[in-house]
Amino acid sequence: MIVLGIETSCDESAAAVVAATSSGPKILSNLIHSQIAEHLPYGGIVPEIAARAHLDHLHPLISRALSEAGIGLREVDGIAAAAGPGLIGGLIVGSMTAKGLAWAARKAFLGVNHLEAHALTIRLTDSVQFPYLLLLVSGGHCQLLVCAGVGRYIRLGTTLDDAVGEAFDKAAKLIGLGYPGGPAIEEAARNGDHNRFALPRPMKGRPGCDFSFSGLKTAVRQIIMVGGGLDPRGRADLAASVELAICDALADRTANAVDWFRRKYPEGDALVVAGGVAANKRLRERLMKLATDAGLRFAAPPSPLCTDNGAMIAWTGIERLRLGLIDSLDAPLRPRWPLDPGAPPRSGAGVKA
């Protein structure tokens, strides 16, 4: 089974070909065009610029992905594209391209939930069986979920305001570091003192699994305003303090989820982290210790597969195709598409998913 995957939900144009073989999944090609240069002057993602960049780069990427995989469109079994959640302009470009190719080649079309693709990436890279506990952390989302099967998710907690990736981006901008904020803060933090600045750990110690990061951003702004700016040492120390505060908050909320998961799903044996922020080394170390102490296996995709990519879309297409979950060519796009539709609504950014 071979699927072509297309990812255009945000600011990465990506195409990949993945095969399910008798010896396991195999990534035949995985190409990404990063739009960081296009958005860097604005300090964040501009939706219109993102959509136009997808138009410019997607078709060449698809051609190259098929060529590197050594196959033609006739040899794929399905064409998958991110159909949400995400920026509507990008979703239109990717999904309409995939639908057109599927119609022309008479192949199955698979509209993929971008969040589910992150959730299932670990099954592409590691032998992780359902159910497992997932911490999904990215620029737009911060959630704790039980992954019980393809299309079957139970949300234990979500952000009440900013997603963790947003918190990194906004803090990095305040400190005077580069974009995207997560990698910039991690790089600066390597030479910083994590304990110099006292920052809040939002929600830490409270019951439940929800997150909040807006107070952390406010504290960073106040430190800079009171101090009259930062010298290079101050920037490194504040970056390190932000990184530690975020990892502490994530670990605390995840610990509550681990306790619940161990009670309700004793057959589950894995704690998984996915999404762009999952590439952070300090966070991985904290979660690995948390999992080990709880008697769980810790698993995370390789860093290149944590950020948005076509391979995760193609693999999710394979998972769905195996179950006969094929979409019609008039399947809708969903800028907001929760993995657990039955979860209670949350205020602020939490309503995204």
pTM above 0.85, yes or no: yes
Chain length of the chain: 353
Cα–Cα distance, 312 to 56 (Å, whole number): 22
User: 260 and 160, same structural domain?
Assistant: yes
| Domain span including residue 333 | 2-121+308-352
Residue 210's Cβ-count burial label (10 Å; 0-12, 13-18, 19+) is: buried
**pLDDT at 348 (0 to 100):** 56
User: 274 and 233, same structural domain?
Assistant: yes
Cα–Cα distance, 114 to 8 (Å, whole number): 10
Per-residue CA distances from 61 to 30, 70, 242 (Å): 9, 14, 36
| Segment (H or E) for 225 | helix 214-227
**Tell me, what CATH number does 184's domain have?**
3.30.420.40
Q: What are the φ and ψ backbone dihedral angles of 169, each rounded to 5 degrees?
A: -60, -45
User: 105 and 66, same structural domain?
Assistant: yes
User: 50 and 28, same structural domain?
Assistant: yes
User: 278 and 173, same structural domain?
Assistant: yes
Evaluate whether residue 67 is within a structural domain: yes
**pLDDT at 351 (0 to 100):** 45
Q: Which 8-state DSSP code applies to residue 27?
A: E
Evaluate whether residue 45 is within a structural domain: yes
Mean pLDDT of the chain: 94
User: 168 and 287, same structural domain?
Assistant: yes
User: 117 and 147, same structural domain?
Assistant: no
Evaluate whether residue 244 is within a structural domain: yes
**Could you report the per-residue pLDDT of 83-113, keeping only the tens digit for each?**
999 999 999 999 999 999 999 999 999 999 9
Evaluate whether residue 12 is within a structural domain: yes
Mean pLDDT (whole number) for 280-287: 98
User: 173 and 106, same structural domain?
Assistant: no
User: 27 and 89, same structural domain?
Assistant: yes
User: 165 and 48, same structural domain?
Assistant: no
Tokens 């769905």, located at residue: 320
User: 314 and 248, same structural domain?
Assistant: no
Evaluate whether residue 126 is within a structural domain: no
Answer yes or no: is pLDDT of 13 > 90. yes
Number of domains in the chain: 2
